[in-house]
Amino acid sequence: MIYEKIFKSKGKKLAVLIDPGKQSLNDLRIRAELARKSGADFFLVGGSMISENIDDTVSVVKESSGLPVILFPGSMYQLSAKADAVLLLSLISGRNPDFLIGNQVIAAPFLKKSGLEVISAGYMLIDGGSRTSVEYISNTVPIPADKPDIASATALAGEMLGLSLIYLEAGSGARYPVRENIVKSVRESISIPLIAGGGIKDVSVVESLCESGADIIVTGTAFEKDAGLIKAFSDTVHSFQASKSKSKFS
């Protein structure tokens, strides 16, 4: 099971986000292999727009990297039975019923038939200093970056509702990544795995997010711009020992 293997196992992990349709399948093949060689642990596949080649994207990434591929759907039109698992995201920081439960209802019968492993995730949008696609498309207001108490209460409610993990999202290409005080306060309030992503451009941020208690770091744009960064990110993520970590998963 992917959830046990990736999210509940010891050790912090690095995930590379692939936005389908942003590159040719040939480029993707090269990049996916490079990401694996550089130490990425798994891939997320998803974006804000519908892509015509989601099945091909998933297959190419899986075949060329040999790593698990988890869907990270921006909407329920982005599903592929070829993936290993799907994050069933509920946008719990927002108050838009479509993203809290509507899309999930539409997708549930397909997901059951597909045999995909479904991992329920509390998706929380945190203000990253600029308006991002996810904020605009979801029509929700992010949690202010200086309100760790709201963030931790939201994450706690997600855990109490039975969600399997919490995903703190500053938004792709965000000016600022999720702040350390938000990560720390959420980490202290929950006991399920914690993912952080959005706007992560350098190693020092990866380090401080890990130190603050994130179990999984996600990078998309930085990898698109400079695939070489993945090695530095992955070395940093994997250098965290159990004793240094605030999480029981790492």
Task: Of 164, 60, 162, 151, give the one whose Cα is nearest residue 119.
Answer: 164
Closest approach of ligand 1GP to the CB of residue 216, in Å: 10
Contacts of ligand 1GP in 16-45 (CB under 6 A)? 17
Q: How far apart are CA 59 and CA 65, in angstroms?
A: 10
∠93-205-45 over CA atoms, to 5°? 55
Q: Measure the CA–CA gap between 62 and 57, rounded to whole angstroms.
A: 9
Check residue 9 for interaction with ligand 1GP (CB under 6 A).
no
Smallest separation (angstroms) from ligand 1GP to the CB of 44: 7
Near ligand 1GP by CB under 6 A: residue from 51, 219, 247, 250: 219
Q: Which residues contact 147 (CB under 8 A, 6 or more apart)?
A: none
- Under rule CB under 6 A, residue 198 binds ligand 1GP: yes
Which residues lie below 8 Å from residue 88, measured CB to CB, with a gap of 6+?
104, 107, 111, 118, 119, 120, 121
Which single residue is written with the structure tokens 């929700």?
140
Which position among 58, 192, 222, 229 is part of the footprint of ligand 1GP (CB under 6 A)? 222
Q: Which is nearer to ligand 1GP, 172 or 236 (CB)?
A: 172
- The residue among 114 and 231 lying less far from ligand 1GP, judged by its C-beta, is 231
Instruction: Evaluate whether 20 touches 49 at the Cβ level (below 8 Å).
Output: no
- Least distance from ligand 1GP to the Cβ atom of residue 195, Å: 7
- Applying the rule CB under 6 A, the residues between 115 and 174 that interact with ligand 1GP are 169, 171-174
- Which residues of the chain form contacts with ligand 1GP (CB under 6 A)? 17, 169, 171-174, 197-200, 218-222
